[in-house]
């Protein structure tokens, strides 16, 4: 007669592999997380702050992602407009609207991350103008060339004013120069967009494409400069 030992119903192989061990530790990954956080606390209590500094440096690098996201979204939209062979006005509006909405979303992340009252008003204005213009362009299927240019130009002028207003809060000279460059570019292209109705669609698309690429490139440079400052601060 062979003895049969029944496995505990609460700890079968399926539960061990797929998790749901308990309310505190659900699987093996939770064990690794708790060990990591526990080691960080021990290092901090013992005065060994290397682990804490490493985490803080990682967070400071990730904090620049909103600026990078804005730059990538604008550059991608600009390159797409310049690369497409004779895009229609509707196609141009969809690309521009998505880029403006993405810019507004990343601007909201940047506003939450920095939590600077001196810049809050300028960021709210930029975020609102970009979101309204992008939404208007996307939800208006029969938008005219004039309306599209007015929406993009108005958002650009608001961005220029907001960047100029936030220059006083920047302590680094390079950051101020980059902010001033963004303000000038946004103002010049904003005026050009407002004055462009009546031109050919091809000329309008080229103007929008160049504007998005230049503005997006400046945003990426801004993020790179912020990353360089954080890296030098931790080195």
Chain segment 154-208, per-residue pLDDT in tens: 999 999 998 888 877 666 777 788 888 889 999 999 999 998 877 888 999 999 9
Give a yes or no: residue 1 inside a domain.
no
Name the band, by pLDDT with cuts 50, 70 and 90, for residue 150.
very high
Which of these, 134, 124, 183, lies nearest to 157 by C-alpha position?
A: 183
Half-sphere exposure of 4 (CA within 13 A, CB side): 2
Are 44 and 64 within one domain? no
What is the largest distance, in Å, between two alpha-carbon atoms of the chain? 96
How much is the pLDDT for 66? 79
Q: Is residue 3 part of a domain?
A: no
Is pLDDT of 213 > 90?
A: yes
Q: Could you tell me if 43 and 152 lie in one domain? A: no
Which pLDDT does position 8 carry in this prediction?
Answer: 45
Which stretch of 59-68, 75-84, 109-118 has the lowest confidence by average pLDDT?
59-68
182 and 200 assigned to the same domain? yes
Indicate whether 125 and 195 sit together in one domain. yes
When pLDDT is averaged across residues 14-23 and rounded to a whole number, the result is: 57
Q: Report pLDDT digits (tens) over 66-75.
A: 778 888 999 9
Say whether pLDDT at 91 is over 70: yes
* 27 falls within a domain: yes
Instruction: Give percent of the chain above pLDDT 90.
Output: 37
Confidence (pTM): 0.68
Q: Indicate if 66 and 165 belong to the same structural domain.
A: yes
Region label for 84, one of left (φ > 0), alpha (ψ between -120 and 50) or beta (otherwise): beta
Q: How far apart (Å, rounded) are the C-alpha atoms in residues 194 and 206? A: 15
Question: In angstroms, what CA-CA distances link 6 with 9, 15, 17?
Answer: 8, 16, 19
Closest CA to 159 of 211, 93, 209: 211
Structurally, the chain folds into a number of domains equal to 2
Residue 233 has pLDDT above 90, yes or no: no
What average pLDDT score do residues 215-227 get?
A: 83
What is the DSSP secondary structure assignment for residue 44, as one 8-state letter?
H
Note whether 108 and 220 are same-domain residues.
yes
Residue 79 falls within a domain, yes or no?
yes
Question: pLDDT-derived band of residue 32, with 50, 70 and 90 as boundaries?
Answer: low
Of residues 163, 40, 182, 64, the one with CA closest to residue 114: 64
Q: Does residue 107 lie within any of the structural domains?
A: yes
Q: Note whether residue 4 is domain-resident.
A: no
- Residue 219 sits in the same domain as residue 135: yes
C-alpha–C-alpha distance, residues 169 and 194, integer Å: 29
Same domain, 13 and 119: no
When the pLDDT of each residue in the chain is averaged and rounded to a whole number, the result is 77
Summarize pLDDT for 95-105 with one digit per residue, the tens: 999 999 999 99
Q: 160 and 65 in one domain?
A: yes
What's the mean pLDDT in 217-231? Answer: 78
Q: Is residue 64 part of a domain?
A: yes
Q: Is the pLDDT of residue 133 over 60?
A: yes
What distance in Å separates the CA atoms of residue 158 and residue 180, rounded to the nearest whole number? 14
Whether the per-residue pLDDT at 44 is higher than 60: the answer is no
Q: Give the range of the structural domain holding residue 37, as residue numbers without chain letter.
A: 9-48
Q: Is residue 2 in a domain?
A: no
Residue 2 has pLDDT above 60, yes or no: no
Asked if residue 21 and residue 128 are part of one domain, the reply reads no
Question: Same domain, yes or no, for 15 and 81?
Answer: no
Identify whether residues 43 and 120 lie together within a single domain: no
């Amino acid at each position: 007669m062979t003895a049969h030992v029944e496995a505990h119903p609460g700890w079968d192989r399926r539960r061990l592999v797929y998790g749901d061990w308990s309310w505190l530790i659900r699987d093996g990954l939770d064990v690794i997380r708790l060990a990591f956080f526990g080691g960080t606390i021990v290092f901090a209590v013992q005065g060994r702050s290397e682990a804490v500094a490493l985490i803080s440096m990682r967070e400071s690098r990730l904090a620049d992602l909103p600026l990078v996201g804005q730059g990538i979204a604008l550059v991608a939209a600009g390159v797409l407009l310049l690369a497409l062979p004779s895009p229609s006005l509707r196609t141009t509006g969809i690309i521009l609207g998505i880029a403006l909405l993405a810019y507004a979303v990343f601007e909201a992340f940047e506003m939450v991350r920095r939590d600077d009252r001196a810049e809050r008003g300028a960021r709210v204005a930029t975020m609102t103008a970009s979101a309204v213009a992008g939404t208007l362009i996307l939800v208006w299927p029969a938008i005219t060339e004039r309306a599209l240019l007015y929406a993009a130009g108005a958002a650009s002028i608001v961005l220029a004013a907001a960047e100029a207003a936030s220059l006083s809060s920047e302590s680094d000279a390079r950051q101020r120069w980059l902010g001033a460059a963004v303000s000038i570019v946004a103002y010049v292209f904003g005026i050009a967009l407002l004055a462009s109705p009546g031109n050919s669609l091809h000329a309008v698309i080229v103007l929008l494409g160049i504007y998005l690429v230049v503005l997006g490139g400046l945003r990426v440079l801004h993020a790179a400069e912020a990353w360089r400052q954080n890296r030098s601060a931790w080195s």
